[in-house]
Amino acid sequence: MLCDGVTWLDDWFAVEEVAPGVIAIGEPRFHQINWNYLILGQRRALLFDTGPGVRDIAKAVRRLTTLPVTALPSHMHYDHTGGLGGFGNIALADLPVLRACMQDGWLMPADDLYVGYWEGMTWTPVKPAEVPATTGLAQMSFEPPVEKPQAPRETQPGEQTTWKVPGPKAGPFQAFLGDGSVVTYYWYRFADQPAILNADLTPAEREALQVKVEKLHRTWTKDREYLAPPTVGKLAALDPLLAPCEPALLWLLDVPVDDAQWSHLDPRQRGGQDNALYRF
């Protein structure tokens, strides 16, 4: 149910004229119930905030005015900038914090502009005794879902598959990962790995690709850096054992391909030769 004076524009957006020439565009079905404001001038219109982008607010605006529209976000949170992509004219407040984000004519906002950093927002858990009784949450229990054991999955079983013909150069090898699982892998020529065999390349094209990859392996040694460190965020960390130890010379000509992964800690996940939790 909408408040007095608010009417549905469609099945998502609701509107209200809050002042002469000022139309509030709400999104009551979104959990934050965002409100954006369309300000109509004599020659142009200004849309103040564009919502989270769940629906295209630009289409709603075009139903409300034929004037050219400039979109202006009040700040950089996602629920105010989500619909900016629907507008050809976008303005920003002339603030030092935003000017510092300009790179080669592009605005590259840092992550801290999106998460309430400048507003001093912090997430503080509510103590059980402070939960309002009207919410009914104190009587509710939120149990984590229990995952069912995963059945073995096998890709292309059989002997006459791209995994077996022409087949790997060496293997199998095993790596014991930090999560308690075991990965079995083989070394394939780059041109003979299943993904390349299934890429609709001719034999000549695959061999030409193999030549180029061998050149890359010779010149792109692992003791050099090829990408600049990130300026925002952190790189993901990988289990070091996921970097397989290569037999002599295979690193130059071939690539490792995982064949199976299973847990060696839980005996319920073992059994026979088909004890792999995942087969790739």
pLDDT band for 65, please (50, 70, 90 cuts): very high
Share of the chain above pLDDT 90, in %: 28
pLDDT at 253: 53
Highest mean pLDDT range out of 9-23, 72-86, 97-111, 131-145? Answer: 9-23
pLDDT at 39: 97
pLDDT at 268: 36
For residue 47, list its beta bridge partners: 38, 71
> What is the average per-residue pLDDT within 156-184?
77
Which residue blocks in the chain are alpha helix, DSSP H? 57-64, 78-81, 96-99, 194-197, 203-219, 250-253
| pLDDT of 165 over the 50 cut | yes
pLDDT band for 244, please (50, 70, 90 cuts): low
Nearest 10 degrees: Cα torsion 96, 121, 79, 101: 20
pLDDT at 173: 80
| pLDDT of 194 over the 90 cut | no
242: helix, strand or coil: helix
> What is the average per-residue pLDDT within 240-247?
60
pLDDT at 119: 54
| pLDDT of 239 over the 50 cut | yes
| pLDDT of 184 over the 60 cut | yes
Size (the chain), residues:
280
- Per the model's pLDDT, the better-predicted residue between 25 and 242 turns out to be 25
Domains of the chain plus CATH, in order, are 7-113 (3.60.15.10), 150-219+239-280 (no CATH)
> What is the average per-residue pLDDT within 9-18?
93
pLDDT band for 102, please (50, 70, 90 cuts): confident
pLDDT band for 122, please (50, 70, 90 cuts): low
- Least Cα distance to 255 among 182, 174, 195, 178 occurs for 195
pLDDT at 273: 31
Q: What share of the chain is helix, strand, coil (3-state, %, to 5)?
A: 25, 20, 55
Beta-carbon contacts of residue 26 (< 8 Å; ≥ 6 apart):
6, 13, 14, 15, 16, 33, 34, 35, 36
Tens digit of each residue's pLDDT (9 = 90 or more) over 16-35: 999 999 999 999 988 888 89
Share of the chain above pLDDT 70, in %: 76
- Per the model's pLDDT, the better-predicted residue between 238 and 259 turns out to be 238
